[in-house]
Amino acid sequence: MGELQAVLFDMDGTLVETESLWHEAEVLTMAAFGSTWSEDEQRFALGGPFGRVVEYMAQKAGADPTDVAVTLIDAIDQLMSSRPLPIQPGIAELKAEAEAAGIPTGLVTNSFRRLISIVLKSTGLHFDVTVAGDELAENKPHPLPYEFACESLGVDPANTVVLEDSMTGIASAAAAGCFVVAIPHMAVIDAADRQLIVPSAQDVNLGLLRELLGR
């Protein structure tokens, strides 16, 4: 273990409260193809990856996956562009604390680049690196998104802390070798090595992150 080198944030559910919008977009998309979408299915979709969710939706609705994908992205784009995107409690404070200490920050998500742009414009936040789900060969739960972010920042994953809210994202970060701070939103998250589970980012500060890596 060593000194804290970077703090990386998941986007949907961790950085901003958009999971309710994704649920609404999924309901609208399935309705467009004459089908339905339940809360249990939203939990299945939590964290993606996008392709897995679209394949499931298309199979259930008996529709073409490409058509479903276009409809879903258009729906979430419209919702996110027209609604406030609240920053989750404690996130802005932790990010500001990291920046003041000269520690790089990153945003790593399975969402597409166009959705990252909407979130950054809405929140006014800036990151040293942003990783989008439509720009890499693999998405979470594969480790590539977090490996790519760490490589881009020139930091060691072992000395990087990731904030995540879904099992998909946690699996990605853990496989990349990062320390994970899990903030359960809809998912049930089990305890694991190199992982801390907290109710909210308000329970996290830079001192704690440094302590976690020093153990």
pLDDT beyond 90 at 185: no
DSSP string, 27-65: HHHHHHTT----HHHHHHHTT--HHHHHHHHHHHHT--H
Identify whether 1 is part of a domain. no
Mean pLDDT of the chain, nearest integer: 94
Pair 78, 184 in one domain: no
Amino acid code (one letter) for 55 = E
Band (pLDDT 50/70/90 cuts) for residue 176 is very high
Pair 77, 91 in one domain: no
For residue 134, give its domain range.
Answer: 6-17+85-214
Pair 51, 128 in one domain: no
Q: What pTM, to 2 d.p., does this model score?
A: 0.92
| Structure-block tokens of residue 3 | 């000194």
Task: Give 109-145 pLDDT, tens digit per residue.
Answer: 999 999 999 999 999 999 999 999 999 999 999 999 9
Pair 134, 205 in one domain: yes
Tell which of 59, 82, 105 closes a domain: 82
Q: Does residue 49 have a cis peptide bond before it, meaning omega lies within 30 degrees of 0?
A: yes
Band (pLDDT 50/70/90 cuts) for residue 215 is low
Pair 10, 30 in one domain: no
**In this predicted structure, what is the pLDDT of residue 86?**
93
